[in-house]
Chains A and B, each alone.
Chain A
Amino acid sequence: MKEHNVVASQVVEPVRHAVTVPLASDAAFRLFTTDFNSWWPAHHIGEADLEKAIIEPAVGGRWYERGVDGSECDWGEVLTYDPPSRIVLRWQLDGEWKYDADPAHGSEVEVTFTPDGPGRTKVQLEHRHFERHGSQGQAVHDGVGGDGGWAGLLQLYADKAVA
């Protein structure tokens, strides 16, 4: 089944979103990272309600949430910290939204900040390598594996996603 994961790693289309904001790139970068909690919506994974979501501003820094009860849940890690232009984070929540400590099972989020005229910045986000979350691959074994099934499905999806 290994070959299916290899194929999958080539074809799962990344999620991409972009937004242009009325801030210079250093301010936009700071808002995204240091002030992450000031804009992050209420998405959280812990059982407790979200008190704070945090990106530690350095390579190797934690990306995590703190619940109102003081509990902490890791989301991932800062892989690249390059103000004011780029940050790369590893997303380590698995399909059941639990933290997976094995970095090989984590996907990646890259955010770039590109000046777009005075006081404006284009912020582009790409979340990629979803196939790493599927490395346990029960669906591959049981459901859609075999004779190009899974690979074919993903290729169809990739074609559709870029259409």
Chain B
Amino acid sequence: MGAYEENGLGALGALGDRTRQAIVERLVNGPCSVGDLASELPVSRPAVSQHLRVLKDAGLVVDEAAGTRRVYRINPDGVLAIRAYLDRMWGHALASFEAAAIRAAQDGGSDPEPAGTLDEQGGQT
């Protein structure tokens, strides 16, 4: 079952890499070509292709031909892709919640703490 083991390692790598997380996050908003992704992310086109290959091997994205282009989208059955996206989403959301809470504490006239502490668990490894 060597191929399956490679898939497993691919999925681990896919979720541990910031660029690949950014690609997953972008693809959630709609299918994209390699060129689209390269123009939106601070990485080269060959690098994007390489990341997409890892994501595809891991079962997180699927691709299809669209005319002369190859278009990538999230694998709707890719549970780990959903998880990776939501991990980032909640990280952003709680940071925003914390900022709002600090504002609310200041508006309330109470003695505000200098800052809340943001600690993330179970996130990127």
Contacts and interface: CB of A to CB of B under 8 A. Distances in A.
A35 B111 CA distance: 22
Interface string A16-38: 11111111000110011001001
A15 B104 contact: no
Contacts, number: 168
Interface string B35-68: 0000000000000000000000001000000000
A57 interface: no
Interface residues of B, number: 54
A162 B121 CA distance: 9
Contacts of B80: 12, 130, 154, 157
Given A22-B112, A125-B94, A156-B12, A95 B81 contact: yes
B112 A143 contact: no
Interface stretch (A61-69, A77-85, A144-152): A144-152
Interface of B: 1, 4-5, 7-9, 11-12, 15-16, 28, 59, 74-83, 86-87, 89-102, 104-105, 108, 110-113, 116-123, 125
Given A21-B101, A138-B75, 14 more contacts: A15-B123, A18-B120, A43-B89, A91-B86, A95-B75, A96-B76, A125-B94, A130-B82, A131-B79, A134-B78, A134-B79, A136-B77, A146-B1, A163-B125
